[in-house]
Amino acid sequence: MLDPRTAHLLHVEDDDICQMMLSREFKKAKIANPISGACDGIDALEMLRGTNGRERLSRPFLILLDLNMPRMNGIEFLKELRQDEDLKKSIVFVLTTSDSDEDKVEAYNLGVAGYILKSNPANAFLEATALLDTYWRVVEFPAA
Amino acid sequence: MVGGVDSTRSGIERDLAYTSGVVNGTREPASLAGDIRRFSTADWILAGTALFIICNGMSVCIGWWVRIPILVQLFPDAPTHFNTALIFILLAAGELGLVLRRRGVVIAMAIAVTGLASAELAEYALRMNLGIDTLFAVPFVGQNALFPGRMSGNTIACFLLICGAQVLMSKPDRGGGAATAAAVILKSLAGGIAIIAMLGYVVGLKSAYGWTDSVGMSIRSCAGVLLIFIATIAALWQRDIVDKPSLPNWFLPFLTISVVTISISLIWIFASPVARPFMLDPLYAASAHRVSLAIALSVGTLIFLGTISVLVAGHKAVMARVSEQSLRVAQARLKSTLEVSAVGTWTWDLASDRLIGDEFTARMFSIAASAAAEGLPAAAYLQVVHEEDRKDVADALERAIQLCGAYDIEYRVRQDAGAFRWLQARGRVESDGAGRAAYFHGAVIDINDRKLSELSLRDKNQQLERSNRDLEDFAYIASHDLRTPLNGINSTALCLEEDLHDSLSDESRKLLGLMRNRINHMETLLEDLLTYSRVGRTDTTVSETKLADIFDSIIEVLHPPAHIQVRVEGELPMIATASTQLEQVLRNLIDNAVKHHDKQSGEVVLSGRRVGDFVELVVRDDGPGILPQFHDKIFQLFQTLKRRADRKGTGMGLAIVKRLVERQNCRITVHSQGDGTGTQFRFKWPTLPSTRGAAETTNA
């Protein structure tokens, strides 16, 4: 069972200001769960697999994914993720500025749990935090 | 056709065409009605005469059978015998056969006539009675003659002559050939005999009309032969002389024979001692006088007929010259017109593959004018066409020939200097009588200037479209990429404000406030820029909407302040259009009007009406108005007329409105004095007619 207190959050986002904002919101909401940041899809995969000298991310985890990133963007990362035996069941929320229908369709096709739009920078992270907080308290997960 | 002028088809040409049809095996199945339809005036003359003679002959026959003397003879002692009448009927039938071009009929009649006439002749020669005189009818008049019912010698001679002429003229080649000339001679001789007989009756000279001991040639027979003779000459005159510039070669023999016959007959008659009583006048007693009189009369006749023929020939020559002249003038005029319009003409004889082109055409294709005028195979011209266009041209030509239709194509031809020119060629295929393509006539037009400017225009258009697209893409991407760091700045500012809230001085707080303010402004700017770049890219589906509904949805979102009344005036029409875009226009206009209203209370009014394929909309308010000198400026990007501090918008609203309206190929105008009496924005918006609009939505 996913213990809300131990779940690790992986924030995949190239903009460091956004990463900082999310951490601030977590602190304000007094959520103690660890947040790790990856700057793009490749970085995130290394962290998830523990390759390239990185430390493997502790399970269980939840991924918060931006779409517009250099080197490997969100959609490409998702495709990789779903092909990896070990990682394909990961829970992913998309948090992005992109309003395009194509991205939404593609993301849901690749099995994201939700698609959140960063419309208002002030509220976006606050709401995302509230969502995550409620999510891992309310939702059940399989034992594995 | 270059140089050729087609006169109206005379009977000869039609005969020739008919003949060649026979020879080529493409002749229409023979039909009486078809032949009658093809009758010329000449044919009608002959047919009419023939029918008249047949009726005459029938009446004589009936007279003999039913024994009515008046039908049989006009003069005592000179009845028209039954056999004579019969042969007249046969001869007339032969004439009809000639006219209807049934050679078989003519030959059959000729055989019958020759048979009968020869039999009668045999009777004379062998001095025995073969019984044919009374074969068909028993004479009840003229019984005191030696051989009752027998034809006179003159009549037999005339019949044989006419019948011979008919056989000659029934030959298929009925042009003004030797056969026609010979036939005319024979008929003229017959006519001559008839004239002499007639004159004999006039002067009471029996030997003139009765060559042998038999009864003489009856008046009726004379008349009949003369009729046939005159009809033939009249028909030939009509057919061969009336439309032709030169005299046919039967005319002179005819003239000679006529003159000779008339002269001889006159001499004979007046020299005869048994002439009319006035001839016995002592003044004319001397035969010398009579002879001189006769000679004078013949010379007079000669002069008379000669003058007629000379006049005819002369007239024909003059007419020919006049028509040649007017033809030359017309040709010259045509040539100069074509030169001025840079048009050349050509004709292609498909059977012999000879393409004749005029000077201009030759010049366009770099071919010597003389060679072009003579005619070259089409391949010689095709060779000059640009390689890339050659196949298309060949295909188009082929298609036109197959369908016997029209041809219209543009292509390039190589010029001497290695450059090429654009030509437009148009043409039409002319088919022969059998529906096969025979000739290809056409023109070539030098469209080089026009085509080059057309092409350059197309290029420029494409360039323009490309740069437009690039601009749109740029605006879209730029605004998108600019927003990310802006969001970062905004967030950082927020955080700072949050963190330093308590420890900030008033001054610093104000500074931070200004920073936040400008960041928001920039955000709105970027958003508006994005909207502007997307103008027209968004929803373009056409649907039928009530303008009133659009208005209502605008009001819902806008939430106008209480002191400003936003309403609709009059009935708004129903339109079929890209409603999303129209909604954007109206929203921006109404929003603008509300935002800039400066009074305690006021109104913004929308009205519209249908004008043909458009709907004319007006948004007016009673706000401060816009000074005339700014009427153009307000539509520009990022332009507002207020100070920075009072600014409520980014100044893009009207620019977006103008862009959207102009995308529909319409114009928007502003009417205002700027003195507080309000503003009116007027624009047209296309609306598709209801049925088409509905069809578009079902097809979309």
Q: Do A121 and B484 touch (CB under 8 A)?
A: no
| CA-based nearest distance A133→chain B, Å | 21
- How many of the other CB atoms lie within 10 Å of CB of B646? 9
Tokens of A60: 């269980």
- Sequence-ordered list of residues with C-beta below 8 angstroms from that of B46, at least 6 positions apart, any chain: B95, B96, B98, B99, B231, B232, B235
Place A80 in a pLDDT band, splitting at 50, 70 and 90.
very high
**Are B235 and B46 in contact, with CB atoms under 8 Å apart?**
yes
- Which range of B83-87, B453-457, B488-492 scores highest in mean pLDDT? It is B453-457
For A126, the closest chain B residue by CA position comes to: B491
Q: Do B484 and A97 touch (CB under 8 A)?
A: yes
**Are B214 and B77 in contact, with CB atoms under 8 Å apart?**
no
Residue among B479, B487, B524, B526 with most chain A CBs within 10 A, to mutate: B487
Of residues B33 and B277, more confidently modeled: B33
User: What pLDDT was estimated at residue A35?
Assistant: 92
Nearest to B558 by CA among B600, B520, B588: B588
Place B396 in a pLDDT band, splitting at 50, 70 and 90.
very high
Q: Do B487 and A24 touch (CB under 8 A)?
A: no
Nearest CB among B483, B484, B491 relative to A21 is that of: B491
For chain B positions 461-500, those within 8 Å of chain A (CB to CB) are: 483-484, 487-488, 490-492, 494-495
User: What pLDDT was estimated at residue B63?
Assistant: 80
Nearest CB among A68, A97, A121 relative to B491 is that of: A121
Place B540 in a pLDDT band, splitting at 50, 70 and 90.
low
Q: pLDDT tens digits for A3-59?
A: 666 788 999 999 888 898 899 888 888 888 899 999 989 999 999 999 888 888 888
User: What pLDDT was estimated at residue B287?
Assistant: 60
Q: Do A122 and B492 touch (CB under 8 A)?
A: no
A57-83 average pLDDT score? 91
Place B694 in a pLDDT band, splitting at 50, 70 and 90.
very low
User: What pLDDT was estimated at residue B445?
Assistant: 92
**Are B420 and B446 in contact, with CB atoms under 8 Å apart?**
no
**Is some CB atom of chain B closer than 8 A to the CB atom of A121?**
yes
Of residues B114 and B129, more confidently modeled: B114
Which one-letter amino acid corresponds to residue B426? Answer: R
For A24, the closest chain B residue by CA position comes to: B495
B297-311 average pLDDT score? 75
Q: Do B487 and A118 touch (CB under 8 A)?
A: yes
Q: pLDDT tens digits for B211-251?
A: 555 556 777 788 888 888 888 878 877 777 666 656 677 77
User: What pLDDT was estimated at residue B5?
Assistant: 34
Whether the ω angle into residue A60 lies within 30 degrees of 0, i.e. cis, is: yes
Nearest CB among A15, A24, A68 relative to B488 is that of: A15
Answer yes or no: is pLDDT of A119 > 80: no
% chain B with pLDDT above 70: 77
Residue B395 host element (H or E):
helix B387-403
Q: What's the first-to-final CA gap in chain A, in angstroms?
A: 8
User: What pLDDT was estimated at residue B205?
Assistant: 57
- Sequence-ordered list of residues with C-beta below 8 angstroms from that of B238, at least 6 positions apart, any chain: B11, B40, B41, B42, B45
Of residues B432 and B302, more confidently modeled: B432
Distance set, CA B98 to CA B55, B102, B169 (Å):
18, 6, 7
Answer yes or no: is pLDDT of B279 > 70: no
Of residues A119 and A37, more confidently modeled: A37
Mean pLDDT of chain B: 78
Q: pLDDT tens digits for B400-423?
A: 988 888 889 999 998 878 888 999
Q: Do A121 and B487 touch (CB under 8 A)?
A: yes
User: What pLDDT was estimated at residue B569?
Assistant: 86
Of residues B677 and B314, more confidently modeled: B677
How far apart, in whole angstroms, are the C-alpha atoms of residue B63 and residue B59? 6
DSSP B635: G
Answer yes or no: is pLDDT of B699 > 50: no
Q: pLDDT tens digits for B550-583?
A: 888 888 888 888 888 888 888 888 888 877 888 8
**Are B94 and B146 in contact, with CB atoms under 8 Å apart?**
no
Question: What would you measure as the largest C-alpha separation in chain B, in angstroms?
Answer: 171
- How many of the other CB atoms lie within 10 Å of CB of B576? 21
CA neighbours within 13 Å on the CB side: how many for B481? 7
B210: region left, alpha or beta (phi > 0 left; psi from -120 to 50 alpha): beta
User: What pLDDT was estimated at residue A115?
Assistant: 93
Place B542 in a pLDDT band, splitting at 50, 70 and 90.
confident
Answer yes or no: is pLDDT of B646 > 90: no
Answer yes or no: is pLDDT of B337 > 80: yes
User: What pLDDT was estimated at residue B689?
Assistant: 60
Tokens of B692: 């088409």
B616-633 average pLDDT score? 88
Nearest CB among A68, A97, A122 relative to B494 is that of: A122
How far apart, in whole angstroms, are the C-alpha atoms of residue B139 and residue B132? 12
How far apart, in whole angstroms, are the C-alpha atoms of residue B573 and residue B269? 107
Of residues B651 and B243, more confidently modeled: B651
Kindly give the pairing relationship between strand A8-12 and strand B406-414: unpaired
Q: pLDDT tens digits for B589-623?
A: 988 888 888 888 888 999 988 888 888 999 999 88
User: What pLDDT was estimated at residue A9?
Assistant: 92
| CA-based nearest distance A16→chain B, Å | 9
- Which range of A112-126, B2-16, B28-42 scores highest in mean pLDDT? It is A112-126
Distance set, CA B247 to CA B176, B191, B240 (Å):
10, 21, 8
User: What pLDDT was estimated at residue B426?
Assistant: 93
User: What pLDDT was estimated at residue A107?
Assistant: 94
| β-pair partners for B543 | B577
For A120, the closest chain B residue by CA position comes to: B487
User: What pLDDT was estimated at residue B22?
Assistant: 44
B669-684 average pLDDT score? 90
B527-535 average pLDDT score? 76
Place B698 in a pLDDT band, splitting at 50, 70 and 90.
very low
Q: Do A122 and B491 touch (CB under 8 A)?
A: yes
For chain A, give percent helix, strand, coil, nearest 5: 40, 15, 40
Of residues B98 and B239, more confidently modeled: B98
Tokens of B500: 């330093």
Which residues in chain B are closer than 8 Å to A121, comparing Cβ atoms? 487, 490-491, 494
Which residues in chain A are closer than 8 Å to B490, comparing Cβ atoms? 121-122
Place B278 in a pLDDT band, splitting at 50, 70 and 90.
low
Place B277 in a pLDDT band, splitting at 50, 70 and 90.
low
User: What pLDDT was estimated at residue B150?
Assistant: 65
User: What pLDDT was estimated at residue B423?
Assistant: 93
Place B176 in a pLDDT band, splitting at 50, 70 and 90.
low
Helix boundaries (H) for B501-651:
506-534, 547-558, 579-595
Answer yes or no: is pLDDT of B452 > 50: yes
Nearest to B80 by CA among B213, B212, B207, B219: B219
% chain B with pLDDT above 90: 12
How far apart, in whole angstroms, are the C-alpha atoms of residue B94 and residue B166? 7
User: What pLDDT was estimated at residue B684?
Assistant: 92
Coil, helix or strand at residue B441:
strand
What is the value of ipTM here, to two decimals? 0.79
User: What pLDDT was estimated at residue A37?
Assistant: 93
Determine the distance from the C-alpha atom of residue B336 to the mean position of all C-alpha atoms in its chain, rounded to a whole number.
23
| CA-based nearest distance A25→chain B, Å | 10
